[in-house]
Amino acid sequence: MKIGNIQVNHMDKPMGFNLSSLRIDFKIEDTNETNLKKQLIISSNDQVVYDSNLITYNNNYFNVPLNLEPRKHYDVKVIVSGKEKAEGTTFFETGKINEKWTAKWIANKNKDLQNTLFKKKFSVKDSVKSAHLYITGLGLYEAYLNDQKIGNEYLTPGSTAYDKWVEVQTYDITNQLKEDNEILISAADGWYKGNIGFDGGQINIYGDQQMAIAELHIEYEDGHKEVINTDASWQTTSGRITKSGIYYGEDYDANIEIKDWQNVVVLDKDTSVLKDRLSLPITVHENLKPVKLIHTPKGEEVLDFGQNHAGLLAFYNREPKGTKIILQVGEILQEGNFYRDNLRKARAAFTYISDGKEGWVRPHFTYYGFRYVKVTGNTK
């Protein structure tokens, strides 16, 4: 008998989610026994905080009446007993729940930036036991530690009614820390202040300024703790994305020099809208490669990915410095030619100006629905 697929609120090892109604599901494998008992034990810091004791096995889940504490790691053990005994384990970690934020919303004084960058340098001199980042941004953001993207999510924090609910993401960055570190947050308009809607759309639906908020909680092996907040010590400037929008797509100039760093503006913005997340992360589920290169009757070069799908575009750049590559997406062909009139006023393209360096390139703050991609501007 084996226990497998233990899920916490139908998720595998969730981190930072709203778990106010806690449920643990599991599966039993390799047994024909029917007279079974089950038990759930949840512990934190090696202390048992919940024990169901052995109860009759009449379903494969537990509804758990447990008041969870903020920013805690909980270990889960499921036990099933009969003629045999089996155990299975997993864990989950809570977000900030209702804990008061010590960090502040930060912004650039220029509200018209298409891509706002925020950075903070810090050092850790002692041995780190754990480091967790609690972060969100408006409209969309990506975070980097020492030039490496934090997490595998895209389009965070997602689309919500931002005036009522802004989801916070939680990341375990313990293994990414070095002695000397730099954290970078890159933000864009997204659904928050970008152009959304048909027939020209509407801007600034929820606000008119990109911003971010974050708390990095570090616990050291000797027991002392440190919190690095977004505050007046951070710096800000504009990034290499020259225009970005959910319907527009994105323009990226790799030749732009990141400079003119200045002190951030600390906003007096309410933090009560910040909530532990409900939405599942947007991640890459499948990598599709073009199945065909089409030379259309109009002389266009069009990549056929074989199916309509929602996703990002990515390519490996080998183009000389200054080369402008334009990728336009479409869902169908008409008379064998690239067609996009059904997209109405959505530009739905990605423009990249090469800096001459080889490497993978992708848009950061948009996505596309497409099967076909028209390629112009490349030299090969």
Q: CATH code at 297?
A: 2.60.120.260
Choose the weakest-confidence range: 5-19, 23-37, 218-232, 238-252.
23-37
Checking if the pLDDT of 218 tops 70, the result is yes
Q: Are residue 269 and residue 128 in the same domain, yes or no? A: yes
User: In the chain, what percentage of residues exceed pLDDT 70?
Assistant: 99
Please tell me the predicted confidence (pLDDT) of residue 33: 77
Burial label, 106 (beta-carbon count in 10 A; 0-12, 13-18, 19+): buried
Average pLDDT, the chain: 95
User: Does residue 75 sit in the same domain as residue 119?
Assistant: no
**CATH (domain of 58):** 2.60.40.10
Secondary structure E strands in 139-234: 140-145, 148-149, 166-172, 180-188, 211-220, 225-229
Domain count along the chain: 3
Digit-coded pLDDT (tens) for 327-353: 999 999 999 999 998 888 889 999 999
Structure confidence at residue 379 (pLDDT):
55
> Would you say residue 226 lies in a domain?
yes
The span from the CA of 329 to the CA of 326, in Å, is: 10
Which of 66, 93, 120 represents a domain boundary (last residue)?
Answer: 93
pLDDT of residue 196: 86
* Whether residues 111 and 87 fall in one domain: no
Stretch 197-210: mean pLDDT: 88
Shared domain check, 112 and 69:
no
Q: How far is CA 309 from CA 229, 247, 371, in A?
A: 39, 15, 7
- Asked if residue 156 belongs to a domain, the reply is yes
Q: Is 20 a domain residue? A: yes
Examine the domain organization and report whether 39 and 115 are in the same domain.
Answer: no
* pLDDT at residue number 304: 97
Assess whether pLDDT exceeds 90 at residue 4. no
Q: Are residues 171 and 229 in the same domain?
A: yes
User: Which domain, by its residues, includes 50?
Assistant: 2-93
- The last residue of one of the domains, among 43, 70, 93, is 93
Domain annotation covers residue 371: yes
Residue 119 has pLDDT above 80, yes or no: yes
Whether 27 is in a domain gets the answer: yes
- The reply to whether 243 and 319 lie within a common domain is no
Kindly report, residue by residue over 120-165, the tens digit of the pLDDT.
Answer: 999 998 899 999 999 999 999 999 999 999 999 999 999 999 999 9
Same domain, 235 and 354: no
Average of per-residue pLDDT across 9-31: 94
325 and 203 fall within a common domain: no
In a domain, 101, yes or no: no
- Identify the pLDDT of residue 83: 86
